[in-house]
A = this chain, B = another copy of it.
Amino acid sequence: MQNASDFTIDFMKALKRRSQCPISSSLEIWGDKWSLLIIRDLMFNKKLTYGDLLKTEEKISTNILANRLVMLENHGLIQKLVHPESKAKVLYQLTPKGVDLIPVIVEINLWAEKYFTLTEEKKSLIKEIKMDKEKFILDSMNSLLQP
């Protein structure tokens, strides 16, 4: 289905921008139902395997996950790492470009807290954000950027 040259076509298509608008350009990379969920998971867990990402509550499909990981990797938001214990496993982590999406993730959380009913766990996370948003963002980014 999706072989190397098909993928290249998709990737090249994504490089051709609908407009010069920053919002539009961004949505072309991660404006779908799944990509920010992957960013979310890597933000909270630092390094995850393909299998870890498959097991989330939202139950992403294998082909969608594979496709999104390749897109995010090719756009420089995530990178693959060698797994310390197993050649069969791949680890993914955010790049600095991906880490820079944390303020977006934080603002989405704040918006959602206002309009959705959330679990106590999510509520306490958001309470923590609200105590000092900028500090939360900075700490999260620093934590993710060190090895």
> Could you list which residues of chain A lie within 8 angstroms of chain B, going by C-beta atoms?
18-28, 31-34, 36-37, 40, 56-59, 97, 100-101, 103-119, 122, 126
* Chain A, interface SS category: helix
Q: How far is the CB of A28 from chain B (nearest CB, A)?
A: 7
A108 adjacent to B113 (CB under 8 Å) = no
A33 adjacent to B31 (CB under 8 Å) = yes
Question: Among the listed B18, B25, B31, which residue makes an inter-chain contact with A116, where contact means beta carbons less than 8 Å apart?
Answer: B25
Q: How far is the CB of A75 from chain B (nearest CB, A)?
A: 9
A104 adjacent to B101 (CB under 8 Å) = no
Q: Are A20 and B108 also in contact (CB < 8 A) when A25-B116, A31-B36 are? A: no
